[in-house]
Amino acid sequence: MILTGHEILREHRSERINIRPFNPEQINPNSYDFRLGPVLKTYVDYVLDTRRPNEVTTTEIPPAGLVLTPGRIYLGHTMEVMGSDYYVPIIRGKSSTARLGLFVHVTADIIDIGSHNQWTLQLYPVQPVKVYPGMLVGQVTFWKTVGEVTLYSGKYQGSMGPVESLVHLDYAAETT
């Protein structure tokens, strides 16, 4: 069951939903708009390896904006720190962003219950598009769970800013 905007506000006030900073003007009928943080990371190599760390470059998005070009993934982040130990957040791009041909999360739209951090966004433009720090880029919905809850305690917990893939850590035990 999805929470309405009124319930998101109520649950935020009761501290069952964590959004910092919180702006009531970003509440929608059944979601909360989030903003693009000021930092992007891009991978240096064209071919990426799932069994080792991949080198990245870090770029600050200037106030005048930055043009994203097709053919590469940009790791951005939410300006807000968000999470919940009671609801499962699911992120989506805003339709206004999608209409410009910018994918905001590619495939990773479900956030584990108990994950509290700035969420890394996988930005993928289908044509050149200019983005700005702090722009409303996506929205989060909150869903009730059924069954026993196990809170997230994984490798991305507490992330601030964009975090590159740490999938290589999943294979570390196999190589030792």
Radius of gyration of the chain (CA): 17
Task: Please give the residue range of the domain that contains residue 50.
Answer: 5-175
pLDDT at 176: 52
pLDDT at 15: 97
Dihedral, CA of residue 100, residue 105, residue 106 and residue 107, to nearest 10: -150
Smallest CA-to-CA distance from 117 within 68, 145, 67, 153 is with 153
Model confidence pLDDT, tens digit, residues 48-102: 999 999 999 999 999 999 999 999 999 999 999 999 999 999 999 999 999 999 9
Please indicate, yes or no, whether the overall pTM of this predicted structure exceeds 0.85.
yes
Confidence grade of residue 138 (pLDDT, cut at 50, 70, 90): very high
Which amino acid is residue 146, in one-letter code? V
Judge whether residue 175 has pLDDT over 80: no
Q: List, in sequence order, the alpha helices (H) in 79-131.
A: 95-98
pLDDT at 110: 87
pLDDT at 105: 85
Count of structural domains within the chain: 1
Confidence grade of residue 170 (pLDDT, cut at 50, 70, 90): confident
Mean of per-residue pLDDT scores for the chain? 94
Model confidence pLDDT, tens digit, residues 151-162: 998 889 999 999
pLDDT at 171: 83
User: Phi, psi at residue 124, to the nearest 5°?
Assistant: -135, 110
Residues 6 or more apart whose Cβ sits within 8 Å of residue 117: 81, 82, 83, 156, 157, 158, 159, 160
Buried b (16+ CB within 10 A) or exposed e, 5-23: eebbbebbeeebbbbeebe
Evaluate whether 94 touches 152 at the Cβ level (below 8 Å). Answer: no
Would you say the C-alpha torsion 125, 77, 165, 12 has a positive or negative sign?
Answer: negative
Q: What is the CATH number of the domain that holds 96?
A: 2.70.40.10
